[in-house]
Amino acid sequence: MKTKFKFTTLLLASLILFSSLQTKAYNFNANSDPEKDKILIYILRNILTRSHFVVKDMNDDFSEYVFNEFIDGLDPSKRYFTQKDIKEFSKYKYQIDNQLLSEDVSFYNLVYDRFTEKIKNAKSYYSDLLAQPFNFKKKETIDVDYEKVPFAKNENQLIDYWRKQLKLSTLIRIQDKIEKQKASKEKDKNFKTKSFAVLEKEARSEVLKNMDELYIRIEELEHEDWFSTFLNSVVGAFDPHTTYMAPRTKERFEQDMSGKLEGIGARLQKKGIYTHVFELVSGGPAWKQGELEAGDIILEVAQGDGEPLDIVGMRLDDAIKFIKGKKGTEVRLTVKKKLDGSTKIISIIRDVVELEETFVKSSIVEKDGKKYAIIDLPKFYINFEDQNYRDSAKDMEKEIERLKKEGVSGLIIDLRNNGGGSLKTAIEISGLFIDKGPIVQIKYRGEKPIVKNDTDPKTQWNGSVVVLVNEFSASASEIFAAAMQDYKRAVIIGGNQTYGKGTVQSVIPINQFTKYKKDLGALKMTIQKFYRINGGSTQIEGVYSDIAIPSRYSYMKFGERDLDGALVWDKVKQANYVQTNSYQNFSDVIYNSKQRIASDPKFKLINDYAKWLKENQDDTSYSLNYKLFAKENEAQENAAKKFKSVFDHKSNLTFTSPKYELSLFKKDTVLKDKRLAWHKNLSKDVYVSEALNVLSELKLRNNNEIVKN
């Protein structure tokens, strides 16, 4: 268990490295445009200093922050730079602010040029180290908390850092192979096991393959990507949620927010030099056409009757550009089929593709003779360019109306893992549950708070409401949950507190400030702070649940309060609002739930598991001696056995789709399978079960008694 948990940590570290490299470039001077770089710095500097919520001086402290962030962004695992490099870079440590004021990129150029040299050396480092067996009898350790690890003193120590990291990766794979062999031997006494030496060689080969694939990705990166990392070090000095989005990133953000794109409806991934079809989007053009399958390799792309373009070896973002296109246009894909390896040309007419998992969905369950529903809202989505297109508020209103027709008497709104989205839709969705009144207060820099109201007297849902949250419910989710809590319109149940992101960002296209013709991307900038109608900010604090339930995240470090540079908590004057006083037994229901949770051995086990995970998170040191590593791993696995059944739960409740979806299933079996899987998971979800207990106990008040604030 320890190996698997720690491997996750290591994998995350690798992904951080990879994602940081994805925002930089290996084709070092490809598409380099010094004029564009200077324009970007000039515009970003002016927007931030004039309009960001925080007034921040570009001084020595600012310069030091950018210095550290940029270097850490390039080399988070201390694989490239030495102390000698850092010393040389340090001559600019307190000069970056001055350079930015004159659009000077000397610091960036120095670090970037040195980094490109180091990247070139990296392949020989890992190739040479993985060419020979590691000594697993040697007693040594590695600490993977790289923030605590100093930069290497010299090249020899740097290579030793590489050696230890690669040795750990190999060791993890060896241990996994040995465990699989043991399991196979137990099932089949005739199973032939391999020697440690053979397994070690196989593991090194796998690590080498992974490293080669990583550096193929690095080679695809361009100057724009690298410079974006530097710009994000600059804009991030204002607050953690202010980011620069290069054109490709901006496009992905807009797609993610709207939940739609125009194209063929296929998720693609890069494996080596090839573009593979990972998954087809249910209901999309490729899915309807029927010939393209998951696992197929796309070799060439042609637009209509045009000449095919070879995309083998092309970076994934660029390949996707040619495959996507306007609704109604034809794309012809030359594909190597997964099943028989044959080559086939597939013609697909592009269309609007809706990413179904982005949108509202619901499920109905019967408990004690009454019908209830759970509405899953994965994000507060909106299409900024097409106000007539579906958004989360319109979809929520429609979904509630459908559920009312089915006789549902209570709703669970599931906001777990909902990271936010549109402030506008958060306000509109809150308005579905109250007559009218303030929902949230927003405040610009140096100005008085503005109260944002629901002005529509219509109440879409008068019944009981429970809002289910966790530690990853953030931003717009917290606006909605806070409003429901302040109005006492719903019971908030879930993690101890939500994420704590109480700021509002605006996406600002940079080209509107210049006549420069090339796309300069966008700045996602913090322009406001929002406050609850009771006056308190959700910044840092989040929303505290009325009923806190232990979760695996209970003791983990994450959330706004753990981010460097996060804005502080504060409060403003309370808005003028009237609680709905919807329930006769609000306090009693909360008390009953807390008693159930406190006495339930299942929740006690979850709490113990959360503490154990926290201990693992804090333990970042590994032995690189095989016997000691295996011994530690065995001890950890024995400790983990206590938690083997931690999330085993069976409610004996049956969740079903609302009636309108049943007709869709006849045409879309993929959607049907997804819903069946979701319903099955709901029946095994201990948090949903307790939310239903709470919902079933709530009694609506029959009179018009109100509580004034």
**What pLDDT digit, counting tens, does each position of 191-202 carry?**
999 999 999 999
Task: Look at residue 560 in the predicted model and tell me its pLDDT.
Answer: 93
Q: What is the pLDDT of residues 68-113, one digit of tens each?
A: 999 999 999 999 999 999 999 999 999 999 999 999 999 999 999 9
Answer yes or no: is pLDDT of 581 > 70: yes
CATH architecture of 260-354: Roll (2.30)
Q: How far is CA 597 from the centre of its chain?
A: 29
Distance CA 323, CA 327 (A): 12
Q: Quick one: pLDDT at residue 10?
A: 29
The pLDDT assigned to 18 comes to 30
Which of 270, 501, 524, 529 is the catalytic position? Answer: 501
As a whole number, mean pLDDT of residues 374-379 equals 96
Closest listed residue to residue 481, CA positions, set 502, 462, 450, 463: 502
Tell me the pLDDT band of 395, cut-offs 50, 70 and 90: very high
Each domain of the chain, given as residue ranges in start order, spans 2-238, 260-354, 358-621+645-708
How far apart (Å, rounded) are the C-alpha atoms in residues 146 and 277?
35
501 catalytic, yes or no?
Answer: yes
Residue 13 pLDDT > 70, yes or no?
A: no
The pairing of beta strand 503-509 with beta strand 343-349: unpaired
For residue 539, what is the DSSP state? T
Nearest to 568 by CA among 235, 239, 234, 242: 239
Q: How far is CA 640 from CA 1, 367, 633, 634, in A?
A: 6, 34, 10, 10
Joined tokens for residue 194: 């391999």
Q: Is the model's pLDDT at 377 over the cut of 70?
A: yes
What's the rounded Cα separation, in Å, for the pair 514 and 41? 12
Q: What is the overall mean pLDDT for the chain?
A: 89
Active-site option among 228, 473, 475, 657 = 475
671-705: pLDDT as tens digits: 898 899 999 999 999 999 999 999 999 999 975 44
pLDDT number for residue 162: 95
Strand bridging mode 260-263 / 370-376: unpaired
pLDDT tens-digit profile of 620-644?
899 999 999 999 988 888 888 899 8
pLDDT tens digits, one per residue of 497-527: 999 999 999 999 999 999 998 899 999 999 9
Rg (CA), the chain: 28
User: Catalytic annotation on 75?
Assistant: no
- pLDDT grade, residue 619 (50/70/90)? confident
Q: Which of 414, 486, 546, 668 is catalytic?
A: 486
Q: What is the percent of the chain with per-residue pLDDT over 70, rounded to a whole number?
A: 94
pLDDT, residue 8, reads: 30
pLDDT attached to residue 22: 33
Per-residue pLDDT reduced to its tens digit, 231-267: 999 999 999 999 999 988 888 887 777 666 788 988 8
486 as an active site residue: the answer is: yes
Write the CA distances from 87 to 75, 82, 83, 504, 643, integer angstroms.
15, 9, 6, 38, 48
Q: How many CB atoms lie within 10 A of CB 122?
A: 16
Q: What is the DSSP string of 66-114?
A: HHHHHHHHH-TTS-S-BHHHHHHHGGGTTTHHHHHHTT--HHHHHHHHH
pLDDT at 705: 40
Structure-block tokens of residue 404: 């009312």
**pLDDT of the residue at 271:** 78
Q: Are 490 and 465 contacting, i.e. CB atoms less than 8 angstroms apart? A: yes
pLDDT per position as a tens digit, 17-46: 333 333 333 444 556 788 999 999 999 999
Rounded Cα distance, 126 and 205, in Å: 11
What count of other Cβ atoms lies within 10 Å of the Cβ of residue 611?
A: 12
User: In the chain, helix, strand, coil percent, each to 5?
Assistant: 45, 20, 35
Least confident among 13-27, 45-59, 160-174, 567-581: 13-27
- At 288 the pLDDT is 83
Check whether 663 has a pLDDT greater than 80. yes
Architecture per CATH, domain 358-621+645-708, reads as: Alpha-Beta Complex (3.90)
